[in-house]
Amino acid sequence: MNLLTALRAHRIVAIVRGDDADGALRTVLTLAEEHIPLIEVSLSGRDALDVIRRARAELGPAAPLGAGTVLTAQDARAAHDAGADFIVTPAVCEGITAARELRLPVLAGVMTPTDIVEARRLGADALKIFPAAQAGGPEYLRALRGPFPGEPFVPVGGVDAEAARLHLAQGAVAVGVGSPLIGDAADGGDIGGLRARARVFLDAVAVDTAGRAEAGR
């Protein structure tokens, strides 16, 4: 898959991390039904590799499906074997180089300018500013875009619907959203609430006919 094209098209990555594997699988399938196709299953969740395998079988080979919290080469290989077709890391780590060796695109976790330069040197396709809220939110993104105006940034961490609008208005190519979207669904909780939140976030990341975030006009 072309990860950067997909990020620009869909503008949101849903991050599924849960303590209930069946609940996590239901969450992935519900997000796909609600037209949030870029979905990352964090390896820190319960039985995450099995969730990825089962989700791949349900969604088919063409659906984007990522593995997150990939730190090591072993993580990257296991995610690839389970059916993930993109990789997300929380930091600049060997998961990036291993994923690139497997020809998997990478959304690499960065915080500092040094991280940005190193992640791109290692072959990262896009840059996950993490944790975005603690780093300073949209204002930190605006500051980074000064020396790095063309880099594809994806803020992740504490991004609610309003923060999503603000980050996109500051030039993020997409946002990554975990608990503000998922709630308790991946722990076996409310799927109806997940559907409602998915629609709120889809509205938040919608673009007008000029291709600008609604919040950026």
Domains identified in the chain and CATH numbers: 3-216 (3.20.20.70)
Tokens 């996950």 belong to residue = 128
What are the residue numbers of the active site?
40, 128
Alpha-carbon distance of 183 to 172, in angstroms, equals 24
One digit per residue, the tens of pLDDT, for the chain of length 217 reads: 899 999 999 999 999 999 999 999 999 999 999 999 999 999 999 999 999 999 999 999 999 999 999 999 999 999 999 999 999 999 999 999 999 999 999 999 999 999 999 999 999 999 999 999 999 999 999 999 999 999 999 999 999 999 999 999 999 999 999 999 999 999 999 999 999 999 999 999 996 433 444 444 3
Its pTM surpasses 0.85: yes
